[in-house]
Structures are given as structure tokens and as C-alpha cells.
Chains A and B, each alone.
Chain A
Amino acid sequence: MGFAGYWLIGRYYERRFGKVEEIPYEGFPIAGQILLVVIGFFVSVAIDIVARPPVFVSGLVVAAWLIVTSWPSRRIRGEYQSIGTLLILVSLAPLVGVPQATAAKTYCFWFGFGLLLAGVRDHISFVRSFPALRHLDE
């Protein structure tokens, strides 16, 4: 469902705003980056289930991924850094006595709600960067 939604949103933006092809990325291959993140996530989930550490290791991995991937655009999309930092704090919350279940619920809420808010903000700033659309939207 998530992938279908992602595809549909992509189609919407493409039809409304047009399409660009990015200049090929010359650093570490994107496919390699995705593979590392997927492996890192599953390993951290396994650690959480098997070793039951006092912190959410998978939560820390996801938060770190959010911070690292949004780092290049931190000046214009600082909210992702804030969400990532908040998620790190929530992942560490069991260390100061917060029950694991409460921390897990809080983590899921802020991950979903935070990304939703960030997405809405992204959309608004994206639309505002198009003078023609701004005119049409007014």
C-alpha cells in the first residue's frame, strides 16, 4: 500500500509539475545505500527482538537514517533533523524509566505524524517555488 501510494503521489507531481531527470549521482551508489539501510534495519530489529536491549536499536537506526539522508538539505528542510533528533530521544527514553510500550507508541506516533507534517511543509514550499502555479493557486 505504501509503495502504491508513493507511486500515485509521484504520478500526481509529474502530471502537475512536469518531470526532470537528475544529474547522475557520482558518490556511493544509491542502490548500495538502500541495501545498507535495509540490512541495517533488519539487523537492528533482530537485535531488539533477540537481545531485548534497554533502548530501541531499530528506532535509533531509523532516526539516524532520517538525519543522514536529510543532512545535505538541512538548511531548507531542517524539520527532518528535528524529527530525527526527537526519535533518538524517544528511542533512548527507556533508559530513564519510560516503559518500553509507551516509548514504542510515542515513537510510532512521532514518526508518522512528524513525517506527515514534514511532507505537507515540503509540498507547500515546493508549490511556492513555481510562480505560475502560485498565481493559479491564489
Chain B
Amino acid sequence: MSNQPFEQLAALDRLVHEPARLAILTALSAVKSADFLFLQRLTGLSKGNLSGHLSKLEEGGLVVIAKGFEGKIPKTTISMTPDGRKQLEHHWNDLERIRKEATKWKEKKEE
């Protein structure tokens, strides 16, 4: 019996696959850009955790972080790079494909 779905699961890009980062990227994929507060509210992450995940995503070239001021208030705006959008779409496609293969694997095992 092929262990293909398990090998593929193990080979998933962890930069994208980590749940908090996948949530951040999925949220960002639906908009042109979002501010730090929006992502914090949506994901429920603490400031420190969100900041850490965003730094990793920025280092990986998946997002761009722009820091500025709106009046006297600091404002951090995050947007996905074109490469980030491609990688996220690729990742979701991979997950869908692996799920189908895992279902087939399970059905064969039960036969």
C-alpha cells in the first residue's frame, strides 16, 4: 500500500502550513492589504505572536510589511506579495489533493 499521502503531508511547506500563518495568509489573500489590528482581531493572536509570524512570512518573501504613521498613531500595513499569493494557492491545492489521496488510502485499507 502506497504511503504517498503521508509523504506529501510531511513535505508540506511549514512556513505556510503552520496554522496561525495559514490563517494570516488566507485572510490577506482576500484583500489588497490589512492593518495589524485587523489581523490580530481576526486570528486572535497576541501582538507578540502575530508580530513573530509576520516577520517569518516577510523573511520568506510571502508578505510585505509597511510601517508608517496615521497622524501620530503608528500604523503597520501588511500585504501579500504575488509570490505569496501563488504559494498560498498552491498550498490549498496541495491540501485538497492530499485529502483526496488520503481518503482513497483509507478506503483501500478498509477493503
- The interface of chain A, by Cβ under 8 A from chain B, is 16-24, 129-133, 135
Q: A21, B31: Cβ atoms under 8 Å?
A: yes
Contact string, B33-75, partner A, CB cutoff 8 A, digits 1/0? 1111111111111000000000000000000000000000000
- The answer to whether A20 touches B38 (Cβ under 8 A) is yes
List the 5 shortest-distance A-B pairs measured between CB atoms, nearest first: A18-B38, A18-B37, A132-B44, A131-B44, A20-B34
Within 8 A of A (CB), among B3-32: 30-32
Candidates A18, A21, A130, A132; contact of B32 at CB < 8 Å: A21
Q: Which residue of A lies closest to B32 (CB)?
A: A21
A17 and B44 in contact, given A22-B32, A23-B31, A24-B32 (Cβ under 8 angstroms) = no
Is there an interface contact between B34 and A18, defined as CB atoms closer than 8 Å? yes
Q: Is there contact, CB below 8 Å, between B31 and A18?
A: no
Flag if A21 contacts B41 (CB, 8 Å): no
- Report the number of A-B residue pairs with Cβ-Cβ less than 8 Å: 49
Contacts of B36 in A (CB 8 A): 18
Nearest CB in chain B: distance from A14 CB, A: 9
For chain B, the bracket of interface size reads 10 to 19
Compute how far the CA of A21 lies from the CA of B99 in the bound complex, rounded to whole angstroms: 33
Residues of A within 8 A of B38 (CB): 17-20
B76-105 CB mask vs A (1 if < 8 Å, else 0) is: 010000000000000000000000000000
Kindly list chain A residues whose C-beta atoms are within 8 Å of the C-beta of B41: 16-18, 130, 132-133
How long is the Cα–Cα vector from A22 to B30 in the complex, in angstroms?
Answer: 8
Q: Give CA–CA (A24, B33) in the complex, Å.
A: 11
Contact B35 A23 (CB under 8 A): no
A18 CB to closest chain B CB, in angstroms? 3
The distance in angstroms between the C-alpha atoms of A18 and B70, with both chains bound, is: 13
